[in-house]
Amino acid sequence: MPKLFDLALTVNGTRFEQAVEPRTLLSDFLRHDLGLTGTHVACEHGVCGACTVLLDGEPVRSCLVFAVQAHGHSVTTVEGLGSIEQLHPVQEAFRQAHGVQCGFCTPGILTTVVAFLDDNPDPSEEEIREALSGNLCRCTGYQHIVDAVQLAAKNIKTAHQQPAR
């Protein structure tokens, strides 16, 4: 039995310390140890993107990262984006454009898109589809998701243009 590893990391702004088995996948640690079940697991071999989280701001597959590798780093999950009362602009756009059906792939898509729009605030449809190419969705055919990303980009831009009070 390999020895446990004393893991310390920040998730959605909160610091957690816990001893874990080295083989524990970050996805399982978030879901089962921290109870952050918004991050979903659908393939566990790095293709579907449902488990995408932000590791130090970078979108990564949490099923391809061991929890111990997040030691001393900061993780953002879908729970860290917005709340039911206060949706993140990207979440709000997904609601407005019906970018959600069963909602299982959605958390991984939201984290991917938030990072994408940070890098590329004014993307073309082609760039959006490329950015989404690592996230599989079986319900939507992606069209309303693409619309949602376009809407989010537009809303975020106009929000920035509001004169500061």
Find, among 40, 131, 120, 39, the residue nearest to 78 by Cα: 39
- 3-state secondary structure at position 48: coil
For the record, the structure tokens of 1 come out as 């039995």
Tokens 């939507």 label which residue?
140
Q: What are the Cα distances from residue 85, in Å, to 81, 88, 92, 126?
A: 12, 10, 11, 32
Which residues between 59 and 118 bind another protein (CB under 8 A)?
59-61, 63-66, 68-69, 71, 77-79, 81-84, 87, 91, 94-96, 98, 100-107, 110, 112, 116
Q: Which is closer to another protein, CB of 134 or CB of 154?
A: 134
State which of residues 131, 151, 153, 156 lies at the interface with another protein (CB under 8 A).
Answer: 131
Question: What is residue 52's DSSP assignment?
Answer: E
We find the least distance from the C-beta atom of residue 18 to another protein, in angstroms, to be 14
The β-bridge relationship of strands 52-55 and 58-61 is antiparallel
We find the least distance from the C-beta atom of residue 162 to another protein, in angstroms, to be 23
Which residues between 25 and 54 bind another protein (CB under 8 A)?
25, 28, 31-32, 35-50, 52
Integer Cα distance of 39 and 52 in angstroms: 7
Task: Give yes or no for residue 10 binding another protein (CB under 8 A).
Answer: no
We find the least distance from the C-beta atom of residue 49 to another protein, in angstroms, to be 6
Which residues between 136 and 155 bind another protein (CB under 8 A)?
136-146
